[in-house]
Amino acid sequence: MMQLNCPCCGLRDEAEFVCGGTTHIVRPPLDATDQVWGEYLFFRENPKGPHLERWRHAQGCGQWFNLARDTVTHAILAVYAVTEPPPR
């Protein structure tokens, strides 16, 4: 079981959080083609390895934050604010 370091509440058990999936997805303009809109809604990198994703501390402060996490080892590589750019 993972422990995530909530930027507001500190280290808490995974069970307190919900994952919101891939982060940094940019919504296309409303006049986008069906192809672009479909890709925006459904198509994902789904990487095996480091993944940038959104989490919410649902049973704590309620805040959304970003996580860089390895999908194989589940190691947390970085925790950063939703407004921050991805770490390099």
Partner 1 sequence: MNYSAWSLLRGALAGHRNWSPAWGSNEPKSRYDVLIIGGGGHGLATAYYLAKNHGITNVAVLERGWIGGGNTGRNTTIVRSNYLYPESARLYDFSLKLYEGLARELNFNIMLSQRGLVLLAHSRHDLDSMARWANAMRMNGIEAELLTRDQIAALAPALDMSPDARLPILGGFTQRRGGTARHDAVAWGYARAASKLGVDIIQNCEVRGFIEENGRAVGVETSRGSIRAERIGIAAAGHSSVLAKLAGFKLPVTSYALQALVSEPIKPLLDTVILSPGTGAYVSQSDKGEMVIGAMLDLFPSYAQRGSFCVEQAIIAGTLAIFPTFSRLRMLRQWAGIVDVVHDSSPIIGATPIPGLYINCGWGTGGFKAIPVGGWTLAHVLATGTNHALAEPFQLERFVTGRLIDEAAASGIAH
- Determine the residue type at 81: A
Q: Which is nearer to partner 1, 31 or 34 (CB)?
A: 34
Residue 30 binds partner 1, judged by CB under 8 A: no
How many residues bind partner 1 (CB under 8 A)? The answer is 29
Residues 46-65 that bind partner 1 (CB under 8 A): 46-48, 51, 53, 55
Element housing 40 (H / E): helix 34-42
Separation of alpha carbons 18 and 62, rounded Å: 10
Residue located via tokens 């805040």: 63
Q: Cα–Cα distances in Å, from 31 out to 38, 44, 68?
A: 13, 21, 32
Residue 11 binds partner 1, judged by CB under 8 A: no
Binding site for partner 1 (CB under 8 A): 1-2, 13-15, 18-19, 21-22, 34-35, 37-39, 41-48, 51, 53, 55, 71-74
